[in-house]
Structure 1
Amino acid sequence: MSARALPLLFLNLGGEMLYILDQRLRAQSIPGEKARKDEWTDVDRKRVMNDIITTMFNKKFMEELFKPQELYSKKALRTVYDRLAHASIMRLNQASMDKLYDLMTMAFKYQVLLCPRPKDILLVTFNHLDAIKDFIHDSPGILNQVDETFRQLIETYSCLSAGEFQLIRQTLLIFFQDMHIRVSIFLKDKVQNSNGRFVLPISGPVPWGTEVPGLIRTFNRNGDEVKRTEFITDGNYVTPQREGSFDLYGDRVLKLGTNMYSVSRPVETHMSASSKNLASHAKDNIAPNPLAKEELNFLARLLGGLEIKKPGGSETGFRLNLFTTDEEEEYA
């Protein structure tokens, strides 16, 4: 297990959370002059996004996050995002939070699976951070927080070997291996089966620095090439034109990690039978884990030090439904 996987897991899941919230808030926003007191406006959306991003990139929390350590347990990580999602005036009920977390985890799992090479997980992370910077482009203070995290990522990961990135990828896949939640976007695009497992492509660009399959070279003991044999592949592979940029600014080339909700379409999640059994087993197993308890206590102390903005005075907070109606949410 890699001790360097946690920052990548946290930042990418956080990026997916922000994509979903931004899309849903935009869909439910009412023009300011027409909005009633209990309705969302674009000003509210910007406030929520700014508050969550400010909390997410809190300097103290980032310093703790980047220390070499094992991944948080699933329960502890979910606690972090529960706190993050409520770092502003927005309030989600349990069904909405469950749905939000399912979408976040399945989206990033898909991205990790599709990375052409393990190092490209860093490009996926950069895509998320680039998009987050677009959300707060008119807030220079918050922008500086995100840029500082960008620099930490470059400093921490630019020197890692291919083997270390492979270990990071394996660590992330182990974390996701029991999650098979069906997502409507993936099902409609036919990249996910009805059992919740992803369909991996057998065509497209090969990893940067590798060759298109279809040729076998045979060498003698002196290292001289003595024979070439061509074979037909089932896929249609191409050589990538260039490598994505690992700098603070630049073309990432890889599209994984960009905002798939930028085109408005309904998103639904359904838990597969195996995931339901797993969730049921987790609920049945009520014996407390002392290590998990300590981990949650530590996170509570750490997150308790963050500036979680709660509605004060006449503000009661806004409730956001990720479903069209409350009735849909109740039966999710």
Structure 2
Amino acid sequence: MSVRALPLVFINLGGEMLYILDQRLRTHNTSEDNSEKGLWSENDRKRVLGDIAGTLFSKSFMDELLKPQQLYSHRTMKTVLTRLAHASIMRLNPASMDRLYELMLMAFKYQVLVCPRPRDLLLVSYNHMDAMRQLVRDTPAVENQAEETQRRILEVYSTLSEGEFQLLRQTLLIFLQDLHVRVSLFLKMKIQNPNGRFALPTSGPVPHGIEVPGTIRTFDWKGRELRRCQFPEGGSYSHSVRPGSFELHGARGTRLGLNMYNVEHPEETQTTRPPSLKADNTPNLLAKEELNLLARLMGSMDTEKSPAPEASFRMSLFDMEEEEEEEEEAGPSCEWKRPLFGVINIQAVQDEQTVTELARIVGQFSEKDEENQSDNKGDDLLAMMDDL
């Protein structure tokens, strides 16, 4: 697993978050007949984008992200991104945050899959950062933070070898491999199948400097070519004619820009889950490390700028009434949707057996509390989370 994947994940998912929020805030700023204004103004939209980008590109947050470390679970990612989305005056309900996270992941997954070569992951990240700088161009301080972050990313990743970029790509694919959420825009463009899997093209130009597939060469121990043979490549490939260029194309050759969210057609970014998606009950062996990462990342965010509750506004990004009813019947279907703690149901009946059972449970909790008091590290972590 690559120890350099975490910064790229946050930068690319953060870029997708700003795209979606910008589109939704523009769409719902007025009523359907444009007769009255919404609950927020254009200044509110700019403030939301500026505060989120400012938190993402803050020096303390990037210092923590750029440390070599393993990539963690979706639950930890979603928790930090939820805190990031709430860094301004906007508040999202849990259902909207779930859909927002899924849409961000699917867009990023498609971009990773269609990268011609592993090093192009860096170009995808640069495209996201350039777009985010455009979204916050009215806030010079945040724009300067984005420029400094891009400089640091270039400094860290430009020295990686091709093998390290290949390991980075494999790490991202493992992180995204079990996600098959259907996006209406992808389905409409025929780049996603009804089961949620992407339909990747088998033809097109190869990366600059790479030969067209179809030849197998055999070399001796001195590097001299002994023989070569041909095999059917199964596609129609051509040499790249524009070195250094990078575009994302759909299955039918249509260019898919990184900011795919259209203000005029917000319904095309709705997400649905395939019915076969099941929960992953595999225990998380990195739970302690994830809590420590979560505490450090969330502790590095500036909490002094948190607005008063009355100054914030709440919004629902997606229309999900039918899907929410289905989820209530089917239960949670994703690893990050499962509750963090179990639920104990106690029947409130005043009989001797019930009172004895309640006393036993309370006694167990008291004993656990005494044991936990001796674990200073655990207490410090819980205290930090309570403060946040």
Same fold (TM over 0.5): yes
* TM-score for both structures, normalised by structure 1: 0.84
Instruction: Give yes or no for contact 2:27–2:263 (8 Å, CA) kept in 1.
Output: no
The CA distance in 1 between the partners of 2:279 and 2:9, in whole Å, is 22
Tell me the amino acid that sits aligned with residue 133 of structure 2: K
Deviations 1:269-302 (A, max 9, x none): 1112343x125x47xx7xxx67424522442344
Partner of 2:315: 320
The CA distance in 2 between the partners of 1:116 and 1:73, in whole Å, is 26
The CA distance in 2 between the partners of 1:225 and 1:35, in whole Å, is 76
Tell me the amino acid that sits aligned with residue 21 of structure 2: L
Q: What are the residue-to-residue correspondences of 1:28-43 with 2, within 5 Å?
A: 28-30=28-30, 39-43=39-43
Partner of 2:50: 50
Instruction: Give yes or no for contact 1:13–1:104 (8 Å, CA) kept in 2.
Output: yes
Q: What are the residue-to-residue correspondences of 1:101-140 with 2, within 5 Å?
A: 101-140=101-140
Instruction: Give yes or no for contact 1:129–1:150 (8 Å, CA) kept in 2.
Output: yes
The CA distance in 2 between the partners of 1:29 and 1:261, in whole Å, is 16
Indicate whether 1:311 and 2:307 are aligned.
yes
Partner of 2:85: 85
Indicate whether 1:295 and 2:290 are aligned.
yes
**Where does the alignment leave 5 or more consecutive residues of structure 1 unmatched?**
245-251
Q: 1:115 to 1:29 in 2, by over 3 A?
A: same
The CA distance in 2 between the partners of 1:170 and 1:313, in whole Å, is 42
Q: Per-residue deviation at 1:212?
A: 2.9
**Where does the alignment leave 5 or more consecutive residues of structure 2 unmatched?**
249-255, 327-388
Instruction: Give yes or no for contact 1:182–1:195 (8 Å, CA) kept in 2.
Output: yes
Partner of 2:202: 202
Q: Per-residue deviation at 1:214?
A: 5.3
Instruction: Give yes or no for contact 2:61–2:297 (8 Å, CA) kept in 1.
Output: yes
Instruction: Give yes or no for contact 1:17–1:100 (8 Å, CA) kept in 2.
Output: yes
Q: 1:77 to 1:217 in 2, by over 3 A?
A: closer
Q: What are the residue-to-residue correspondences of 1:199-278 with 2, within 5 Å?
A: 199-213=199-213, 223=224, 234-244=234-244, 253-255=246-248, 258-262=258-262, 264-265=264-265, 266=267, 267-275=269-277, 277-278=278-279
The CA distance in 2 between the partners of 1:298 and 1:203, in whole Å, is 41
Q: Per-residue deviation at 1:253?
A: 3.0
Q: Per-residue deviation at 1:217?
A: 7.3
Instruction: Give the number of the structure whose alpha-carbon radius of gyration is greater.
Output: 2
> 3-state SS of the aligned residue for 1:278?
coil
Q: Per-residue deviation at 1:67?
A: 0.8
Q: Per-residue deviation at 1:130?
A: 0.7
Instruction: Give yes or no for contact 1:124–1:254 (8 Å, CA) kept in 2.
Output: no
Report % sequence identity.
Answer: 57
Q: 1:233 to 1:169 in 2, by over 3 A?
A: closer
The CA distance in 2 between the partners of 1:197 and 1:216, in whole Å, is 30
Structure with higher RCO (Cα < 8 A, 6+ apart):
1
Partner of 1:247: none
